[in-house]
Structure 1
Amino acid sequence: MNFANQITLALTGASGMPYALLLLKALVKADYKIHLLISSAAQVVLKTESHLSLPSRSDLAAEFLAKYTDAKPEQIICYGKDEWFSPVASGSSAPKTMVICPCSMGTVSAITHGASDNLIERAADVVIKEKGQLILLPREMPYSVIHLENLTKLAKLGVTVMPASPGFYHEPKTIDDLVGFVVARILDHLNIPQTLLEPWGYQPSK
């Protein structure tokens, strides 16, 4: 089945799974084919924060998430951390766009230093070397100097760092409003139309 675009989406062990799930639903709605990478730590956080227990097998996890997001057949493809022959591991076939949401500081460090010890790190390394678009959504507080130096190095390489920092000028009423704010900004940077948040200056006057 053909899709409008392709993207790699990775979930790591930082807090912030509601952001990841809403982004996944938005990408499905936008008719993207999603190459999904989920770390072992992310699966633990996902169960803790969203009460979702993913099957351990990649194909069953993809089937589970397809039902959860109402995705089309083969729209979501999951890969294990050691599937080195997957498309995202190669510069000749990987999507040119990747989002890591949420992004742990351990993942940030590994990407900064080119570790490529698992498929998430390798996929990010591929996007950087191929001069694609890599967006990181770190969720940490406070940032240490180590964190800031690593993020600065990546920003200098063209990586977009978007901390999970929702705004309040739109007068959020629920947690979903706060989550939607952050995901809307990610979608804006991906040039994907969204209705989660009105652009600044377009909010109805009080």
Structure 2
Amino acid sequence: MNSIVIAITGASAMQIAERSIQVLLENNQSVDLILSKGAYEVAKSERNINIPVEPNSQRDFWRQKLDTKSGKLTCYRWNDQSASIASGSHKTRGMVIVPCSMGTLGRIASGFSLDLVERCADVHLKENRPLIICPRESPLSLIHIDNLKRLAIAGASIVPPIPAWYTNPQTIDDIIDFIVVRLFDSLGEDFNYVKRWNGPNK
């Protein structure tokens, strides 16, 4: 089975990324994982965790933290431009950038790839494969909006981390699960972790 690429960049809301990885692995999916250089700093600041950079050590870290042995997880260094996923000849089912910083967004929109995250996104656009952007910024400047528009025109799907209240969430985890499920809806995955809208209660 071809993999789904998950990229985590240096924006707030790493919990959504963590849950995304967990959901995929629990459903026996294959995950290629990239953290940008800035994502490690956000992990230290917001989550008080030190994520190993070395790929095998990072894989073991996530396995232990997410408490799952299922699925396939491959981790990559943020600057490994020779990685298989940096090539259009390497098949994937799609890529999700969650959360996506405005710096990463701007460079992808400009076709300017400084690291493996941006190169991988560029590959997905040029190969007409699904690219899901989960932008995490507020308020948005006109520059941000223009960059989002450019990526949407180029074929990316823009899925902001916006919760729904009709699910009657009771915890932060409920809100995160809704956002994660909506992200993967855009890839055609049907993960039944949340209540879906079926019309008003009668």
TM-score bucket of the superposed structures, by smaller chain: over 0.9
Contact between 2:28 and 2:70, CA under 8 Å: does it hold in 1? no
Q: CA RMSD in A?
A: 1.8
Corresponding residue to 1:196 among 188, 193, 197: 193
What is the TM-score of this pair, normalised by structure 2? 0.93
Q: How does 1:121-132 map to 2 (within 5 A)?
A: 121-132=118-129
Contact between 1:100 and 1:137, CA under 8 Å: does it hold in 2? yes
Contact between 1:96 and 1:130, CA under 8 Å: does it hold in 2? no
> Any runs of at least 4 consecutive aligned residues in structure 1 with deviations exceeding 3 A, and if so which?
70-74
Q: Can you list the C-alpha shifts for 1:27-51, whole angstroms capped at 9, x where unaligned?
A: 1012121111001211121233333
Corresponding residue to 2:58 among 57, 61, 71: 61
CA-CA distance at 1:194 after TM superposition:
1.6
The letter for the 2-side match of 1:91 is G
Corresponding residue to 1:117 among 114, 117, 125: 114
1:42 counterpart residue number: 39
1:151 counterpart residue number: 148
CA-CA distance at 1:71 after TM superposition:
4.2
1:9 counterpart residue number: 6
Contact between 1:9 and 1:37, CA under 8 Å: does it hold in 2? yes
The letter for the 1-side match of 2:11 is A
1:28 counterpart residue number: 25
Contact between 1:96 and 1:127, CA under 8 Å: does it hold in 2? no
Per mean C-alpha deviation after superposition, the further-off stretch among 128-137 and 50-59 is 50-59
The letter for the 2-side match of 1:136 is I
What is the TM-score of this pair, normalised by structure 1? 0.91
Contact between 1:181 and 1:197, CA under 8 Å: does it hold in 2? yes
Contact between 2:28 and 2:71, CA under 8 Å: does it hold in 1? no
2:155 partner SS = coil
2:92 partner SS = coil
Q: Structure 1 150/162 Cα, relative in aligned 2: closer, same or farther at 3 Å?
A: same
2:98 counterpart residue number: 101
2:74 counterpart residue number: 77
2:169 counterpart residue number: 172
Percent identity for Structure 1 against Structure 2:
37
Q: Structure 1 87/141 Cα, relative in aligned 2: closer, same or farther at 3 Å?
A: same
Contact between 2:166 and 2:197, CA under 8 Å: does it hold in 1? no
1:136 partner SS = strand
Q: Distance in 1 between matches of 2:198 and 2:93?
A: 32
Corresponding residue to 1:163 among 141, 160, 164: 160
The letter for the 1-side match of 2:102 is M
CA-CA distance at 1:166 after TM superposition:
1.0
Contact between 1:19 and 1:102, CA under 8 Å: does it hold in 2? yes
